Structure 1
Amino acid sequence: MHDQRLKDIVPFVVSVECGSFTAAAERLQVTGSAISKSVTRLENRLGSRLLERSTRRLQLTDAGNAYYQTCMRIMEELAEAESVLAAQRTIPSGRIRLSVPNTFGRLAVMPALIPFCQQHPELTLSLTFSDRFVDLFEEGIDVAVRIGNNVDLPAALGSRPMGRERLVFCASPSYLQRHGTPQTIEQLLQHPAIVYEKADGSGKPWLFTGADGHPEWRNVAHRMSLGEVDAQLQAACAGLGIAQMPTWLIREALERDELRIILPQLQPEGLPLTLIWPRRKQLLPKVDALLLALEGLRIH
């Protein structure tokens, strides 16, 4: 990359952050004219207008906003690369961004992050809760926890397994007292089910282990289909039917005797849980430390 390109990027980014060429000049300790010429030179080279000038404030154009986001990522990656080579490279520091699934993140990941943050006071944690598959590169995520099969994972992403969900059938003590405890699969299927509602509006089938040892999905007659696992948990604790849910979700309800496991011999493995991260960030002490902390999670 030509040196002038990097020289022009900094005045452009600082101008956006400060809102004016004058304020940017004060921060960079140069003249306002030098800042203006640098941004104009950048626009001419790119063939696009990046900033709308006014007497009150600079305003990014659409092209300018896209270029600004790219510049920020480049500058952040340069800073991270320098931190790898820093003298105190073994001390995790700086901002680290983690993305986790909503409920799993709250119940399983967050308890592990509290001692992690206490152990590393020089780290600033940014935690995003989202059930969608985030784009780590586009959104600047350092580490993500993903529930589901990771087929066709790009080579630029590293991954480590965290285990698999263990699914159990469960119901509240009050429900079992009223309706009895099923002792066989056939009896189980006669009870009203509380199932997870998929994006297309249909109920998610229950998972069983077939006679050949392979997973077998069965559609079940259900009383309720709910698009949130927290709502499933509440309905099951309220005695509205039988649900199949991961043990990490119902652990506290089991401890409080709000739910009881039915047919414990039927505990098929659910979806895999995986840590993923951009490989180029693995050498960063903060990423390495977070991966180590999350690897210690016990999914059960």
Structure 2
Amino acid sequence: MNQIQTMRVFVCVAEQQSFRRAAHHLGVSNALVTRSIAMLESHLNTRLIHRTTRNLSLTEAGLRYLDGCRALLEEFDHLEASVTHAVREPAGTLRVVASGLLSPLALTPLVNSFRHRYPELRVQLTVAEGPLDVLDSGYDVGIATGDRLDGNPTLIGHALAPNPFVACAAPAYLERRGEPRAPEDLPGHDWVTLAPHQHAPTWRLVGHDGATHSITVRPTCTVNQLALVQAAAVAGSGIAVLPEPSIADALATGALVRLLPTFRIDDPDAQLSVVYPNRQYVPARTRSFVEHVLEHFGAQTARERAGYGFLRTPDRADIVTGRQTGLQ
């Protein structure tokens, strides 16, 4: 039994969630895939996959084995390339997870420009409405908001440009309820927010003089997607706090009105970072994407300084969780 090749078959079956799709993806017969998994389970003397006529799922042992196989295969591929001095281009499938608090206006051009640079590389992008789970879910890289990942030694992170939030509402709502003139006016208004487990309904506003106001609101409508928050705000359901890049067009056309423009919202979720597993051998596809992300957001901040107003200049250096470093 070729242990390495059998591991590749197992990983492909787990990712494709199907023996037939795995066989098609690998360019082999269904029988070979079935035989490889059977030999692997016999060799390990344990069941790795629960199979029914309709679907399959990994056993607890299968989940542990999948994590180990992925790490081993990545290091094996990197070792072979380094020994033979091969020049490896990014290949395979890049699995990216991004925070749901990140504007689609930032994600779409980022992924498109990366695909144009590496057309042979496949990209799977997942938008997570809750905390990012880069490691346990098998992602290669994540684009995270906030500082929740600081102090995690299993992840490497590089800070990107902030993703500033602003309070806004539709003209129809303001005509009906009046426009708040001070932070203290905000709790008395109708609010559309994410669910509390996604973002606490407390906002910290900072004035030009440095004075801070901590405001807690009682939402009249909660949803689980940022796009729905924006849609409800445009429809006049209430005040919302949204990433400035995602509502730039709505502000420009007057569909939404920015509120309390002399105050900025100090929110840790405004800070963006690109994160990836802290491993000795980082796959070429991951390294290439991280480098592309840093270049992309560097170009965005340059345009902002020139007056385009998309994303602001980072307020801190690139970080590796718990220590300063360059890209590994």
Cα gap change, 1:282/1:9 in structure 2, threshold over 3 Å: closer, same or farther?
A: closer
2:251 aligns with one of 250, 254, 267:
254
Residues in 1 aligned to 2:117 and 2:7: alpha-carbon distance in whole angstroms? 38
SS at match of 1:139: coil
| Equivalence for 2:191 | 193
| Equivalence for 1:42 | 43
Tell which structure's C-alpha radius of gyration is larger: 1
Q: If the length of structure 1 is used for normalisation, what is the TM-score?
A: 0.72
| Equivalence for 1:92 | 90
Cα gap change, 1:140/1:208 in structure 2, threshold over 3 Å: closer, same or farther?
A: same
Structure 2: runs of 5 or more not aligned:
29-35, 50-55, 301-310, 313-328
| Equivalence for 2:139 | 141
Residues in 1 aligned to 2:79 and 2:87: alpha-carbon distance in whole angstroms? 13
Residues in 2 aligned to 1:229 and 1:163: alpha-carbon distance in whole angstroms? 20
Question: Does the alignment pair 1:243 with 2:240?
Answer: yes
SS at match of 1:96: strand
How far residue 240 of structure 1 moved from its aligned partner, in angstroms, is 2.5
How far residue 199 of structure 1 moved from its aligned partner, in angstroms, is 2.6
CA contact (8 A) 1:206 1:219 kept: yes
Tell me the number of residue pairs that the alignment of Structure 1 and Structure 2 aligns.
Answer: 272
Q: Name the Cα RMSD after superposition.
A: 4.0
| Letter in structure 2 aligned against 1:115 | S
SS at match of 1:267: strand
CA contact (8 A) 1:158 1:277 kept: yes
Cα gap change, 1:282/1:165 in structure 2, threshold over 3 Å: closer, same or farther?
A: farther
1:93-150 C-alpha deviation (Å, 9 max, x unpaired): 3322111123626342122111210121121212222233344333332110111223
Cα gap change, 1:83/1:106 in structure 2, threshold over 3 Å: closer, same or farther?
A: farther
Residues in 1 aligned to 2:206 and 2:234: alpha-carbon distance in whole angstroms? 25
Q: If the length of structure 2 is used for normalisation, what is the TM-score?
A: 0.66
Residues in 1 aligned to 2:290 and 2:142: alpha-carbon distance in whole angstroms? 10
1:170 aligns with one of 145, 168, 171:
168
| Equivalence for 1:267 | 264
| Letter in structure 1 aligned against 2:121 | L
CA contact (8 A) 1:237 1:259 kept: yes
How far residue 81 of structure 1 moved from its aligned partner, in angstroms, is 4.3
| Equivalence for 1:184 | 182
Percent identity over paired residues: 24
Structure 1: runs of 5 or more not aligned:
1-5, 28-34, 53-58
CA contact (8 A) 2:203 2:266 kept: no
SS at match of 1:121: coil
SS at match of 1:164: coil
1:227-260 C-alpha deviation (Å, 9 max, x unpaired): 4322221121112222222212322322332101
1:114 aligns with one of 93, 96, 112:
112
Residues in 2 aligned to 1:37 and 1:114: alpha-carbon distance in whole angstroms? 40
How far residue 264 of structure 1 moved from its aligned partner, in angstroms, is 0.8
